């Protein structure tokens, strides 16, 4: 009879039901610093060393704060979704401080991926976590999508792969939008650029669409729709607005690239790993143009 692994959600036969017998992705989140639960199947659980910790666990270990069970940051250990959400809001705060102290030029250099300086490689990442400081709905809508969809995808693929998906898809989405701005030209100093986590958020939606297309999402807590329909609608809107040149300052090309990356990765996961998919949840809907909401000011595209 089949067995469901409560760590990774996969379905396995009797010979592979134990985590150590099916290369369980949940093992990377194993945290047993005192070797209390050392079962012998994980050599990293030995005398307080753990070479297979998740990325978020390693980051928390480096902080001078108690991050163990019961500590103030224990909730983020082994949980990249909420770690990234915290980083998004901390980055938002840092953006405001930068604007107040260093002005718009420094803010643009640190947080916005621009067509003038795509070689500023740090903005490939910082722009994913940054949002338009003058549009609170921008960060709120992206946070809602990541909050609801992120844990499901992280549960399917593991924290490490989820982190890679989030950052890579967000960076590719931003770079694609900047490439379009460069192609359309001319590149005017101080004009253009992209920031926001919508590309990564739509990549997460893309993965879920492939792995669980019938997952019911309650828009605004009221309207039930399957996630495939929500994803298809977002893609159609982006394609139409790209083709007509509409959409204001919303980076629809970045939305579309992020979604395509997620769909491709979801198909890869579907073909290489058995996952258990079920359930439904409520999602507060985003504004026009997808989770990023309405366009932002200043000729700067946010996604």
283 pLDDT more than 70: no
DSSP H or E segment with residue 12: strand 11-12
pLDDT score recorded for residue 110:
94
pLDDT score recorded for residue 237:
85
The pLDDT tens digits of the residues spanning 92-148 come to 999 999 999 999 999 999 999 999 999 999 999 999 999 999 889 889 989 999 998
Query: Using an 8 Å Cβ cutoff, are 135 and 292 in contact?
Result: no
Q: Residue 186, preceding bond cis, omega within 30 degrees?
A: yes
Q: How far apart are CA 295 and CA 165, in angstroms?
A: 25
291 pLDDT more than 50: no
- For residue 130, give every residue at least 6 positions away whose Cβ sits within 8 Å of its Cβ, in sequence order, or none: 91, 92, 95, 111, 112, 195, 196
Q: How far apart are CA 45 and CA 52, in angstroms?
A: 9
pLDDT score recorded for residue 46:
43
Percent of the chain with pLDDT over 90: 36
Q: Minimal CA–CA distance to 265: which of 153, 176, 146, 128?
A: 153
pLDDT score recorded for residue 241:
79
pLDDT score recorded for residue 26:
65
Most confident of 34-43, 58-67, 239-248, 293-302: 239-248
pLDDT score recorded for residue 95:
95
pLDDT category at 246 given cuts 50, 70, 90 is low
Burial annotation 50-70 (CB, 10 A radius, 16+ → b, else e): beebbbbbebbeeeeeebeee
Q: Which residues pair with 302 in a beta bridge?
A: 195, 250
- For residue 109, give every residue at least 6 positions away whose Cβ sits within 8 Å of its Cβ, in sequence order, or none: 117, 120, 123
State how beta strands 3-4 and 223-226 pair. Answer: unpaired
User: Positive or negative, the Cα torsion across 238, 241, 244, 249?
Assistant: negative
pTM of the model: 0.68
Q: Looking at per-residue confidence, does 244 or 83 come out higher?
A: 83
pLDDT score recorded for residue 165:
96
Q: State the chain's mean pLDDT as an integer.
A: 76
Q: How far apart are CA 1 and CA 283, in angstroms?
A: 35
pLDDT category at 77 given cuts 50, 70, 90 is low
282 pLDDT more than 50: no
User: Mapping DSSP to helix (H, G, I), strand (E, B) and coil, where does residue 250 land?
Assistant: strand
The pLDDT tens digits of the residues spanning 121-133 come to 999 999 999 999 9
Q: How far apart are CA 68 and CA 75, in angstroms?
A: 9
Q: Looking at per-residue confidence, does 243 or 43 come out higher?
A: 243
| Homologous superfamily of 78-275 | Rhomboid-like (1.20.1540.10)
Q: Looking at per-residue confidence, does 59 or 99 come out higher?
A: 99
158 pLDDT more than 60: yes
State how beta strands 11-12 and 3-4 pair. Answer: antiparallel
The pLDDT tens digits of the residues spanning 174-221 come to 999 999 888 877 777 777 889 999 999 999 999 999 999 988 888 767
pLDDT score recorded for residue 105:
92
């Amino acid at each position: 009879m089949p067995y469901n692994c409560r760590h990774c959600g996969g379905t396995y036969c009797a010979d592979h039901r134990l985590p150590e017998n099916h290369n369980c992705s949940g093992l990377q989140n194993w945290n047993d610093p005192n070797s209390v639960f050392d079962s012998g199947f994980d050599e990293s659980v030995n005398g307080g060393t753990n070479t297979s910790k998740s990325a978020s666990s390693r980051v928390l270990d480096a902080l001078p704060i108690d991050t163990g069970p019961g500590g103030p940051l224990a909730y983020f250990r082994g949980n990249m979704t909420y770690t990234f959400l915290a980083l998004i809001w901390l980055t938002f705060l840092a953006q405001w401080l930068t604007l107040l102290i260093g002005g718009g030029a420094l803010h643009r250099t640190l947080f916005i991926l621009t067509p003038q300086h795509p070689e500023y490689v740090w903005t490939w990442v910082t722009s994913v976590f940054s949002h338009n400081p003058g549009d609170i709905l921008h960060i709120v809508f992206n946070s809602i999508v990541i909050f609801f969809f992120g844990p499901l995808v992280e549960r399917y693929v593991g924290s490490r792969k989820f982190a890679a998906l989030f950052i890579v898809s967000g960076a590719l989405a931003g770079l694609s939008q900047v490439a379009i701005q460069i192609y359309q030209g001319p590149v005017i100093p101080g004009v253009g650029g992209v920031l926001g986590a919508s590309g990564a958020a739509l990549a997460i939606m893309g993965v879920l669409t492939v792995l669980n297309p019938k997952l019911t999402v309650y828009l605004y807590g009221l309207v039930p729709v399957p996630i495939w329909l929500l994803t298809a609608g977002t893609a159609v809107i982006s394609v139409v607005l790209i083709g007509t040149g509409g959409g204001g300052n919303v980076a629809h090309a970045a939305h579309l690239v992020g979604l395509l990356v997620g769909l491709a990765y979801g198909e890869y996961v579907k073909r290489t790993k058995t996952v258990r998919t079920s359930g439904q949840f409520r999602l507060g809907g985003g504004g026009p143009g997808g989770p990023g909401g309405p366009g932002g000011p200043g000729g700067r595209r946010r996604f």
